[in-house]
Amino acid sequence: MNERMSHIPLQHILIFSTALFFIGMFGMFTRKNLITLLMSVELMLNSVNINLVAFNKYLFPQQTGGIFLALFTIIIAAAEAAIAIAIFIYLYRTHHSIHVDDASEMKN
Amino acid sequence: MLNLIILCIILLLPLSNFLVLGLASRSIQQPLSGYWASFTMFLSASLSIGVAYTYFIEKGTVNGVFPPLELLRYPWLVFGKNLSIDISIVLDPLTVIMLVVVTFVAAMVHFFSLGYMKDDKRYTTYYAFLGLFTFSMLGLILAGNLFQVYIFWELVGVSSFLLIGYYFTQPAAVAAAKKAFIVTRFADFGFLIGILIISFYGESLDIATLIERLSNPASSQSILIQSAGWLGITALSWGLAMIFIGGAGKSAMFPLHIWLPDAMEGPTPVSALIHAATMVVAGVYLVARLFPVFELSQSIMCLITYTGLFSAFFAAIIACTQTDIKRILAYSTMSQIGYMMFSLGIASHEDHYLGYIGSLFHLFTHAFFKSLLFLCAGAVIHLIHSNELSKMGGLRKWMPITHVAFLIACLAISGIPPFAGFFSKEEILLASYHANKFVFGIALLTSGITAFYMFRLYYSVFWNKDQHLDTHHGEGTGTMIISLIILGFLSVGAGWFPFSTWLYKGNEPMHTHIDLLFSIAPVAFSLIGIKIAHSLYRKPSDAPQNLTLAWGKFYTAAYRKFYIDEIYKWLTQNMVFNFFGKLFNWIDKNIIDGIVNGVGTGVSSIYFSIRGMQSGKLQDYLLYFFGGIALGMIYFFYIWK
């Protein structure tokens, strides 16, 4: 456990992760490019990871469950990114665009 | 001679005619199909006579009664421990006598039709239908189970429908067939309810079991059916009344008689077989079959008596005014069946069931002389090509054999000794004299009217004005004449059969004897009727015309059949169509259709209101998603706790 790190209170880390989450959410609502949307999703996932690691370190320093859960999330996020990019490529082939509003055949 | 195989042959020969001739009606040519059908019916009839001989003469009585023989019992539908429908064939004196009557008259009619129908295109189909009818009627007679009776009862109705509508290119025949089917079907609905009531309380559908249980006052079923009731009438009376409605519909009793006169649209031999000798007496047969049960309810016996009596009198009056030869005979049939019905109604223990015996004896003799009358009418129509009395007259010179046969049948139906009708009518009148003087009076009057209208018919057809026909053939073909002669002999001789030693109730045969003093009144009434007819119709004169004018309104009413058809028409038009029809139409259009359409429009309006949510924009869905999560969190953290 690093001495320097322990000077940072938990609240600061939580404020940071919340800010990261809402930045991701803002990105999801405002951007139209699918790759940007994927990046926003990654931001939100990472804010969660930060939460998990922080809680693990500050509340249960003797255990490692939070860290492993964060690792799982990273792995799943990697897999999800691979699938998402595959979808984008396929979408580009059919629609010649990766703009979200262009893929709306099934509306109404 | 008395076993299941013989009876199955009797029963299945007509069915095989139906199947073979019906399926191959195009490939089997004209004379062959008729000859084959007639041959099988003669075979069936002679086997029946053999069965009757064995049953009555060879086997004889055991302890003074002819024992009922159950030849077949096969559990067909088993519903539980107590209730099952068994297909059974039971022979008792009533069955055996009906067997002989039906097969014999059917054989005569098949034989007669060889000549009568020879120019018809659908000759083979006609014989197929006749086969179906004969099979159904025999099945009805042999059935030992009420449900089985009901099945054949409906089959008889179907074959009657098919044969009435045989000339289906004529609208009148189609209308008559539909009328007959609907009216009898309506009555059969009552019959079905009656069967259900009786079998529910009697806990059986087997006729013998039902009779045994219900007529034993100590049995639990009998106590239950006598004590249960509705509207102050016992369940027994309800059940029997409903069964009687079925019988009244088939037997053309007032007010369900309206189909019978119209049914004369069918070929004349069919009228002789179905609407005179066999099917229309099915109601009488049914009441006779269940007589020990009917006897338990005095009110229903009373209902039977007065329905029969009124029908007999009412039909006799109408018959005096009609001008269509077959319609006169139809009303006469209705009148004679009325006789049989009221005679069953007045039969009681006191005079050894004389009314019961008389009724069935009359059924027996009536089958012969009435089918003879119809076949003679068929021969006349064959010559004249019209049913109207005004086209006939003076035919005795052209068809002497038919003339004699018709005269014999008229004398028989009028009850002139020694012809068949005299004996049976005598027993009925004697029974009614002992039972009820009012019934006796009306019956006596009716028998006088019967003699009048039958001889009105006879004189109008064979005497009255002389006419010159351009044809030489006069009489019908050989087969027609032969069947007339055979039936003519039976119309003379059927009364001499020792009927009451075969069919009786109680432990010993009843030896009926002719009470000469008693016979004076009925015979005198008949002779007066004949005399009046003789003076009015023997020669062409203005007297009948003047007489109808003198009777005025009453004559018109009788001529229009007392407006019964009009009343039915009014009832159906105004009550059924206008009232119930409109009501149900409104319910159907507004409530039923409203529910169905409401479901559709409801779903589609929900769809139109929410379809905007599916905007196709990814961010909108995200908004719903996060909004949902936010709402859920608010709920869990602040409300649900």
| Whole-angstrom distance, CA of residue A27 vs CA of residue A39 | 8
Say which residue the tokens 């001679």 belong to: B1
pLDDT in tens, B191-211: 999 999 888 888 888 888 888
Instruction: Supply the Cα-derived Rg of chain A in whole angstroms.
Output: 18
> Å from B608 to nearest chain A CA?
9
pLDDT, residue B472, reads: 64
Considering only CB atoms, which residues of chain B are within 8 Å of chain A? 611-612, 614-619, 622-623, 626
Residues from chain B that touch A28, judged by Cβ atoms under 8 A, are 619, 622
**Side-chain half-sphere of B604: how many Cα atoms within 13 Å?**
6
**CB distance from A2 to chain B under 8 Å?**
no
pLDDT, residue B605, reads: 93
Secondary structure class of B352 (helix, strand, coil): coil
Peptide bond into B540 cis (omega under 30): no
- Asked if residues B260 and B251 have their Cβ atoms less than 8 Å apart, the reply is no
Chunked mean pLDDT (size 10), chain B, 641 residues: 82 90 81 88 92 85 80 83 83 90 92 86 88 92 90 92 90 90 91 90 85 83 79 85 91 88 89 88 91 88 91 90 89 92 84 84 91 90 83 82 90 87 87 87 91 89 77 75 89 82 73 74 88 84 78 79 83 82 90 93 92 84 92 91 71
> Å from B597 to nearest chain A CA?
24
> Å from B623 to nearest chain A CA?
8
- Token pair of B399 as six digits: 């068809």
- Asked if residues B102 and B278 have their Cβ atoms less than 8 Å apart, the reply is yes
| Whole-angstrom distance, CA of residue B101 vs CA of residue B551 | 41
Cite the DSSP H helix spans in B54-145: 93-116, 123-142
Smallest Cβ–Cβ distance between B614 and the set A25, A100, A107 belongs to A107
A-chain residue closest to B613, CA distance: A108
Q: What is the pTM of this model?
A: 0.78
Smallest Cβ–Cβ distance between A100 and the set B612, B618, B626 belongs to B618
Mutate to test the interface with A, among B609, B613, B618, B620 (most CBs of A within 10 A): B618
Smallest Cβ–Cβ distance between B617 and the set A28, A101, A105 belongs to A101
pLDDT, residue B512, reads: 65
Smallest Cβ–Cβ distance between B622 and the set A29, A101, A105 belongs to A29
> Å from B624 to nearest chain A CA?
12
pLDDT, residue B507, reads: 66
Residues from chain A that touch B619, judged by Cβ atoms under 8 A, are 28-29, 100
> Å from B639 to nearest chain A CA?
24
| Whole-angstrom distance, CA of residue B10 vs CA of residue B337 | 27
Asked if A100 and B619 come within 8 Å (Cβ–Cβ), the reply is yes
A-chain residue closest to B621, CA distance: A29
Residues from chain A that touch B618, judged by Cβ atoms under 8 A, are 37, 100-101
Asked if A107 and B612 come within 8 Å (Cβ–Cβ), the reply is no
A-chain residue closest to B609, CA distance: A108
Q: Compute the CA torsion angle B496, B141, B106, B367 (nearest 10 deg).
A: 40
Smallest Cβ–Cβ distance between A29 and the set B611, B612, B619 belongs to B619
**CB distance from A100 to chain B under 8 Å?**
yes
Q: Which whole-number Å values give the CA distances from B435 to B258, B500, B542, in the listed order?
A: 30, 19, 43
Per-residue pLDDT of chain A (108 residues; tens, 9 = 90+): 555 556 788 899 999 999 999 999 999 999 989 999 999 999 999 999 999 999 998 888 888 889 999 999 999 999 999 999 999 999 999 988 888 888 888 776
pLDDT, residue B511, reads: 66
Asked if A106 and B614 come within 8 Å (Cβ–Cβ), the reply is yes
